[in-house]
Amino acid sequence: MTIRVGFLGAGLIATFHSHMLDLSGEDVTIAAVWDPDAERASAFADRTGAHRCVREEEVLDLSDAVYVCTWTSEHPRLVEAVVAAGLPVFCEKPLATTMAGAEAVAATVRAGGVVNQVGLVLRRSPAFNLVRALLAEEAAGRVMAVVFRDDQYIPIQGSYASTWRADRERAGAGTLIEHSIHDVDLLEHVVGPITSVSARQANHHGHDGIEDVVTASVAFADGALGTLTSVWHDVMSRPSLRRVEVLCERRFITVDEDWFGPVTWQDGDATTTVQGDALLAECARRGIATPNPDGEFVRAVRDGTPAWPDVEVALRAHVLVEAAYRSAAEGGVPVSIPA
């Protein structure tokens, strides 16, 4: 059965997901698109062959599943419309601009019982899932410390050319919720539960309510400590880049690119580095699945099975982000995070 996918929103992230669907090998067609910017919707339609709709409701009528890829403040309303139509929904991260909004989105999806997935796609990263496996090995010993740096040029310029990420009403806030919600989610996925966070934030670009630097110190349930630095700068040669170092009792691991590596680990005098095809081969050798996240969503829609990561995963990431913002607002005091 060919799955007809519709898009609400036709910007950069929608284009990314359309490419991933093309690469998935699944029997899928991009059937419909709507965007408040008619020119952008037309460009998306020309690239994908989708029907350009003049109303949001048309997308729902022409689709078996719908991607919500608009600015963040529109996510709750559009997810509610998709769920009300009884359709599976893929919602880009974050779910909403506030914790209350994220809880409302999750409640809507839960009550509707539809197949759902969120845009925390780095949970499917071959690089980070290899790190997760390396940390689970007895040879590594306990995780002691994690150093996570995430930087990119502020995405209101360059190839991102976002028309809304400097608007507090539409984005909610800046680099932490809009970009590094991926990072706090990865820290728990790869290392383990976070129990407290202490954070600071700064605003150098001067956009109201849009922080461009966040530093956070986190404590993990197993006793490990971590730091996260997230920066939106103006170095145009640096798009989204992540560098992660994990220091264990008997193993040191680094990641220098968030999907295909390189991933390097050092045990005593032995150092191993894998990247690209070699990284995928190492994952295959270890039985680590490396699926196309968008292909996984289409398969779940076709088979009527749960998709992952879902709104419950996203809701937990929002809990972590909210705790960091609360800490920053109080001058960096530690904020406890429930399990």
List, for residues 153-206, the tens digit of each pLDDT value.
999 999 999 999 999 999 999 999 999 999 999 999 999 999 999 999 999 999
Residues facing residue 212 across a β-bridge: none
Other Cβ atoms closer than 10 A to 333: 11
Using CA atoms, how far apart are residues 197 and 180, in angstroms rounded to an integer? Answer: 14
pLDDT tens sequence across 298-336: 999 999 999 999 999 999 999 999 999 999 999 999 999
Token pair 């404590």 in the structure block, residue: 219
**Strands of 263-267's sheet, edge to edge?**
270-274, 263-267, 252-255, 241-248, 143-153, 225-233, 213-220, 194-202, 335-336
> Contact, 308 vs 289, CB < 8 A?
no
Residue-level pLDDT at 81: 98
What's the whole-model pTM score? 0.97
> In whole numbers, what is the pLDDT of the chain averaged over residues?
97
- pLDDT at residue 265, as a whole number: 98
* 309 vs 60: CA distance, rounded Å: 23
Model confidence at 339, pLDDT cuts 50, 70, 90, reads confident
pLDDT of residue 249: 98
pLDDT at position 188 is 98
pLDDT at 52 > cutoff 90: yes
What pLDDT score was predicted for residue 318?
Answer: 98
* pLDDT recorded at residue 271: 98
**pLDDT above 90 for 1:** no
pLDDT score of 223: 97
Closest CA to 301 of 18, 5, 7: 5
Residue range 100-129, pLDDT digits in tens: 999 999 999 999 999 999 999 999 999 999
Q: Is the pLDDT of residue 211 over 90?
A: yes
> What domains are there in the chain, each with its CATH number?
3-120+297-307 (3.40.50.720), 122-290+318-336 (3.30.360.10)
Q: Are strands 241-248 and 143-153 parallel, antiparallel or unpaired?
A: antiparallel
Q: Give the tens place of pLDDT for each residue, 272-284.
A: 999 999 999 999 9
